[in-house]
Amino acid sequence: MKLFKSLLAAGGAAGIVIGLAVATPVLATVPFTGTVLLQCATVGQTQKVTINSSANVLIHIEVTINNSTANGGTQNGTGLTDAQGTFTDSWTIASQTATTAVVRVWALTSEGVATGETSFLIKLVNQTCPTPTSGAFTGTLVDTTQVSGQVKKTCDTGVSGNAVFTATLTINVSYSTTLSTTFQLPAGLTLTLPCNGAAKALPSLPVTSVIKLHESTAPSGAAAAADTTITLEASAATTTTIHNAKAAVSATPTPTAAVLPATGQPASTPTMPWPAVAVLGLIAVAGAGLVFRRKS
C-alpha cells in the first residue's frame, strides 16, 4: 500500500514492516465506517467504538470530553484492524458532568490518511437519555496532497544487524486549524531497518506532517543514533539516511602495584596482611567498574 505497505503485529513483537510486496486492498468506496455503541451514555457505563476497514489498517481514535482528550481518552485507541478489517476500542465513561463527547478517528489506509468524526451524549445517572440513533459514521480521505518518502540505515564497519525504531506521527492538514493530531505507535508496532540494507517506504501523509523515529534498539556494536525527525514536503520521494557509528571502546587502565605507606612494600608482597589485600582488591574492582517507541 502507499502508506505502510503492511502493518504487522505478530505475537506482539513483530512490528511495522514497511515495503512488503503484499499491499493492503484498496477500498472502492469509503475508507472506513464506524459505530459508537452508546449514543447516550451515563457515568460508569462502558462505551465502545468499532471501526471497519481493510485488514492491517492503522487506526487512531481520539475522544474529547469537555475540550480535553485527557478526560475522555480511550485506553487502547491506536492499533491495527484485524484480518477481518475490524478494530474496536472500549473504555469506562468517567466524566462527572452532562456534556457532549466528540469521537475523531484517523485511519492510514491504502489511499492515504482518512478521518471521520461523530459524537455522543453523556448524562448523569438521574438524567433521561433521548431516543438513541444508529451511531454509525463514515470516514473520508483528507482532501489535500499526501506525500511519502523512504528511510534507510547505514552502519560503520564492524556494526551489523538491525536497528529497531518506535515511531511518533504528527498529521497536519493545512486547510484546517482543527484537523491535526500527534500519536505514538503502540509498542508492538515498530520499524526495523537492517544495516546497509535497502530503503523502506514511509507512510504517505498530508504535506507538512512529521514522522519522528526513535532508535529503541541499536545494531550490534553500534552507538544508538539520535532521534530522526522527517517533515514531509510536497517534493518528497527523497530518502532519509540514519547512520549508526561504531560504539566507542573504553581503554582499560594498566594495573599498578599498590604500595603500603607504612612499609613501602608492594601489594603483592607475602608479608602484607590478608585483610589489606582483600580491601585493596575491592578498591581495584570498583575502580575498573568505573570504566564504562516532517517531529534530525
Tens of pLDDT, residues 123-135: 888 888 887 778 8
Mean pLDDT of the chain: 77
Q: pLDDT band for position 284 (50/70/90)? A: very low
Residue 1 in any domain: the answer is no
Q: pLDDT band for position 76 (50/70/90)? A: confident
Sign for the CA dihedral angle at 199, 205, 210, 214 comes to negative
Residue 285 in any domain: the answer is yes
Judgement on whether residues 77 and 131 belong to the same structural domain of the protein: yes
Last residue of a domain, one of 117, 141, 165: 141
- With H, G, I as helix, E, B as strand and everything else as coil, classify residue 283: helix
Residue 238 in any domain: the answer is yes
Per DSSP, 175 falls in state T
Residue 243: predicted pLDDT: 96
Judgement on whether residues 131 and 162 belong to the same structural domain of the protein: no
Has residue 283 got a pLDDT over 70?
no
Lowest mean pLDDT, pick from 39-43, 46-50, 92-96: 92-96
Residue 38: predicted pLDDT: 93
Cα–Cα nearest to 111, from 79, 78, 142? 142
Lowest mean pLDDT, pick from 14-18, 51-55, 163-167, 212-216: 14-18
The per-residue b/e assignment along 115-152, b for 16 or more CB within 10 angstroms, e otherwise, is bbebebbbbeeeeeeeeeeebebebebbebebbbbbbb
Last residue of a domain, one of 244, 259, 276: 244
Residue 28 sits in which domain range? 6-141
Q: Is 141 left (phi over 0), alpha (psi -120 to 50) or beta?
A: beta
Alpha-carbon span 52 to 87, nearest angstrom? 7
Could you read off the pLDDT of 134-190 as tens digits, one per residue? 889 999 999 999 998 899 999 999 999 999 999 999 999 988 888 999 999 988 899
CB 31 within 8 A of CB 110: no
171 φ, ψ (degrees, to nearest 5): -100, 120
Q: Residues 249-253: what's their mean pLDDT? A: 64
